[in-house]
């Protein structure tokens, strides 16, 4: 058993909930995998055996007979800790790794929120802000703007930069997710929609008076015809019958 006191960490590792992590150093013949000084598993004569029956690690620790590497699967937040690989035969060594398990990064989404003749404002957003989550806007390969633990991040793109490549990246130390934006398409669609809306408004502003005027003319014609019929009927009624 390896004491957890004053353990020298060889490397920091980051994993994602539901994912897996493989520890870099192999035990090929005889050795142990321990967590915080407590043995979880052992390899003896190239055979693997779990020593810790804790439900958190049942069926989660694997050992590859070909590479000698330990893999922890189905990671959960409480699987974070210092893991030690102790090889006692063949290549003898002891290496410790600090594993931190993070929430899975939410996928970012981008929408155009403001469009003018000279610029377009894009908003990159995620549904929830996780631990150490960072939102970043990239122009080509350069970071333009960045914010930590925010749900959204706006970016204003000027007309002369519409042809550049833009992407929004949501990331934590374990993983990142990216959405690429075609600025011309995203902003022109909004512009076209606005133009169509303006055109529709102008169309109806022009047509409505014409419809009202046409309706009024038709009503006048109908009323005039009705009055003439009434007058003719009245004249016929006033003529005395012939003897």
The helix or strand, by DSSP H or E, that contains position 214, with its residue range, turns out to be helix 183-238
With residues binned 3-state (H G I as helix, E B as strand, rest as coil), the percentages for the chain, rounded to 5, are 25, 40, 35
| pLDDT, tens digit, 9 for 90 and up, residues 129-185 | 888 999 999 999 999 999 987 899 999 999 999 989 999 999 999 999 999 999 988
What pLDDT was estimated at residue 220?
60
Cβ-in-10-Å burial (0-12, 13-18, 19+) of 34 comes to buried
Is residue 233 over pLDDT 60? no
What pLDDT was estimated at residue 198?
44
* Cβ contact 205:212 at 8 Å: no
Beta-carbon contacts of residue 101 (< 8 Å; ≥ 6 apart): 14, 15, 16, 17, 75, 76, 77, 78, 79, 80, 174
What pLDDT was estimated at residue 72?
96
The helix or strand, by DSSP H or E, that contains position 205, with its residue range, turns out to be helix 183-238
Sign (positive/negative) of CA torsion 155, 161, 162, 168?
negative
Domains of the chain: 9-102 (2.60.40.10), 109-188 (2.60.40.10)
- Across all residues in the chain, what is the average pLDDT? 83
Provide the whole-model pTM.
0.69
What pLDDT was estimated at residue 147?
92
What pLDDT was estimated at residue 3?
47
What pLDDT was estimated at residue 200?
46
Is residue 227 over pLDDT 80? no
| pLDDT, tens digit, 9 for 90 and up, residues 61-107 | 999 999 999 999 999 999 999 999 999 999 999 999 999 999 999 99
What pLDDT was estimated at residue 205?
47
Q: Of residues 226 and 155, which shows the higher confidence score? A: 155
What pLDDT was estimated at residue 194?
45
| pLDDT, tens digit, 9 for 90 and up, residues 181-201 | 999 888 875 444 444 444 444
Q: Tell me the CA end-to-end span of the chain in Å, nearest whole number.
A: 141
What pLDDT was estimated at residue 196?
41
CA atoms of 57 and 62, how far apart (whole Å): 10
What phi, psi does 236 have (nearest 5°)? -65, -35
Averaged pLDDT, 208-213:
56
What pLDDT was estimated at residue 82?
96
């Amino acid at each position: 058993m390896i004491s957890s006191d004053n353990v020298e960490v060889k490397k920091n590792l980051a994993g994602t909930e539901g994912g897996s992590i493989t520890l870099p150093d192999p035990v090929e013949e005889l050795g142990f995998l321990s967590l915080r000084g407590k043995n979880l598993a052992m390899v003896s004569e190239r055979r693997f055996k779990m020593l810790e029956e804790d439900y958190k690690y049942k069926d989660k620790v694997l050992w590859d007979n070909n590479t000698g590497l330990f893999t922890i699967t189905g990671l959960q937040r409480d699987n974070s800790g210092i893991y030690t690989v102790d090889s006692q035969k063949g290549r003898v060594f002891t290496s410790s790794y600090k594993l931190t398990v993070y929430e899975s990064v939410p996928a970012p989404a981008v929408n155009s929120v403001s469009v003018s003749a000279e610029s377009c404002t894009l908003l990159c957003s995620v549904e929830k802000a996780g631990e150490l989550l960072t939102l970043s806007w990239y122009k080509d390969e350069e970071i333009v703007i960045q914010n930590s633990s925010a749900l959204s991040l706006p970016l204003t793109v000027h007309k002369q930069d519409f042809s550049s490549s833009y992407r929004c990246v949501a990331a934590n130390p374990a993983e990142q997710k990216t959405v690429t934006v075609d600025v011309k398409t995203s902003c022109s669609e909004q512009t076209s929609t606005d133009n169509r809306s303006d055109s529709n408004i102008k169309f109806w502003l022009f047509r409505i008076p014409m419809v009202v005027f046409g309706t009024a003319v038709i009503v006048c014609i109908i009323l005039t015809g009705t009055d003439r019929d009434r007058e003719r009927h009245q004249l016929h009624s006033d003529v005395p019958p012939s003897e």
